[in-house]
Structure 1
Amino acid sequence: MAARTRRPDRRQEPLTRERIVDAAVELLDTVGEDGLTFRALAERLATGPGAIYWHVAGKSELLSAATEAVVTAAVADEPTEPTGPATSPRDGIRAVALGLFGATERHPWLAPQLAAQLSRSPWGAVAPRIFESIGRQVQALGVPRDSWFTASSALMHYILGAAGQNAANTTSADTFGPGVDRARFLDEVSTAWESLDPDEYPFTRAAAGQLRGHDDREQFLAGIDLVLAGISALHPPAS
């Protein structure tokens, strides 16, 4: 009887919750929330849906885990300056803000998920992680303890609101087709504002030109500076 030749074992990367979440983020980025199904995820991971359910109970838990993973990465970066690591709490706040701003740009599904999770389950992992990242820097600014919550909440609301609106604007601009770039889109909006009734919208008409060619990121950071200036004026460091 001829001896059987033993085939070498095929070594596959073990299925873990982390791999599942990473694959879910990739699917969300490419096909959106509607395309995130356990069947599609199983195909991407070359496994069966049952194996995924062993690690994740359902789609709601999967969306929460994907949101947490992206937010964790976004707020993890240390603030830096051209000459090296930044030490200013203001730089720390700007770094957290830019991390979240960039994450909502790269992941179109993130902003609505953040809004949903912060309203439905503020006790979950996402809200405390963002609040902690901002709050530590607010504390380092010397804001009095009894003003920590108000100051940190104002920053958090501005960051998430402005970043989410920017992501929504980007998505809306994309729906006009590849032939309409951002500059043309802004020019059309500015022109529409300039055509408004001068008696009913005098301010909007006067500011319309500033909309053309503005840099979203610079405008976002300018808003951060305005909020920080207000916090410093209203809540000076305790003696």
Structure 2
Amino acid sequence: MTSPRTGRSRRGKEALSRERIVGAAIELLDTAGESGLTFRALTERLATGSGAIYWHVANKGELLDAATDAVVAATLTPPVTRDPRDGIRAVALDLFEAIEKHPWLTTQLATQLSRTPWSSVTPRIFEAIGRQVRTLGVPESSWFTTTSALAHYILGAAGQNAANAGATEPGGNRDEFLDSVTDAWEKLDPDEYPFTRAVARQLRGHDDRAQFLAGIDLILAGIATLR
């Protein structure tokens, strides 16, 4: 059998699968970020030549898409619950934790949702959330809007959480970081920023997951009015 790209035989290349290449790419993305994902780094990690990798993936863009899809596909397992509200919370928390574990996902998800929504990632996310929305009894005319609102909140809030974690100095302490932000907010001009000063103390030591799920509950409360 020959490759449609090169016309060369597959013999000797079966051991290096696309799945293995994508797995190595995810490891590089987790440790070195998008800039660290190069075909040279991949060849070193996989102990192979670049030609063997190009046999399975055409370029870095295709590899990033495949890595994103692999992580999302592994993350979005069907929730085991009869209550669709709990199902939405489960999907939301799964995505939250995946983005927390793989910060590079934030950029890749935003790129795929805006530039290539026909690729597999966007339908996976919409399907996981939308099935629960439908089970909630939301009118069909509001399925898209409701699912979109949830997806945008989940990905936006999870991405912001990952960015906040990255803002902490390497080896730094999250509580110390939040303390410094709180102190800065409390020193703002009271006439210009009365509300921000008032909530500053709530920022100190807050639980990111609890705050994230509270946002989901606010949206669910709004969804209930549609029924």
Tell me the TM-score normalised to structure 2 length.
0.92
Partner of 1:138: 133
Distance, in Å, in 1 between the alignment partners of 2:112 and 2:144 is: 20
Indicate which of 136, 145, 157 corresponds to 1:162. Answer: 157
Partner of 1:4: none
C-alpha displacement at 1:86, in angstroms? Answer: 2.1
Per-residue CA shift, 1:21-65, capped at 9, x if unaligned? 011000111111111111211121121110111110110000000
Range moving further from structure 2, 29-38 or 12-21: 12-21
Partner of 1:149: 144
Number of paired residues? 216
Percent identity, please.
Answer: 70
**Residues 35-46 of structure 1 aligned to structure 2 (within 5 Å):** 35-46=36-47
Per-residue CA shift, 1:66-97, capped at 9, x if unaligned? 00111111112x43xxxxx4221111111111
2:54 is the alignment partner of 1:23: no
Task: Give the 4+ runs in structure 1 shifted more than 4 A.
Answer: none
Residues 148/112 of structure 1: CA separation in 2 closer, same or farther (3 Å cut): same
Which AA in structure 2 matches 1:155?
L
Indicate which of 203, 210, 216 corresponds to 1:224. Answer: 216
Q: CA RMSD of the aligned region, Å?
A: 1.5
Partner of 1:9: none
**Residues 104-115 of structure 1 aligned to structure 2 (within 5 Å):** 104-115=99-110
2:66 is the alignment partner of 1:65: yes
Which AA in structure 1 matches 2:142?
S
Indicate which of 164, 170, 186 corresponds to 1:177. Answer: 170
Partner of 2:34: 33
C-alpha displacement at 1:13, in angstroms? Answer: 7.8
Partner of 2:117: 122
For the Cα contact (< 8 Å) 2:75–2:95, is it kept in 1? yes
Distance, in Å, in 2 between the alignment partners of 1:86 and 1:188 is: 40
Per-residue CA shift, 1:117-158, capped at 9, x if unaligned? 211111111111101110000001010111101110100000
Instruction: For structure 2, list consecutive stretches of 5 or more residues without a partner in the other structure.
Output: 1-12
* Structure exhibiting the larger radius of gyration computed from Cα positions: 1
2:195 is the alignment partner of 1:203: yes
Per-residue CA shift, 1:200-221, capped at 9, x if unaligned? 1111111110001100000000
2:80 is the alignment partner of 1:88: no
Distance, in Å, in 2 between the alignment partners of 1:121 and 1:21 is: 19
SS of 1:98's equivalent?
helix
Residues 218/170 of structure 1: CA separation in 2 closer, same or farther (3 Å cut): same
SS of 1:14's equivalent?
coil
Partner of 1:7: none
